[in-house]
Amino acid sequence: IFIVVSLDGYIARSDGSVDWLFDVEGDGGDNGYEKFYDNIGALIMGRLTYDEVFKQTDDFSYKGKPC
């Protein structure tokens, strides 16, 4: 499982937004995520999360994988 959760244990804000997931600081390294992701055959996510991802960006991060 790969998931991002806030310190208070929530994935989305009370309004359903996940905009905080895109506010990332760091050196830009993926810490091995790309290599791991290349070995994944499919993704499973909840419908509300799926819909919210499309609201946040025009470029679907998971294209090329069944979702």
Whether 64 shows a pLDDT value over 70: the answer reads yes
Q: Are 6 and 20 in contact (CB under 8 A)?
A: yes
pLDDT band at 3 (very low <50, low <70, confident <90, very high): low
C-alpha–C-alpha distance, residues 43 and 30, integer Å: 18
Q: What digits encode the pLDDT tens for the residues 21-53?
A: 676 676 767 767 788 888 888 888 888 878 877
Task: State pTM to two decimals.
Answer: 0.47
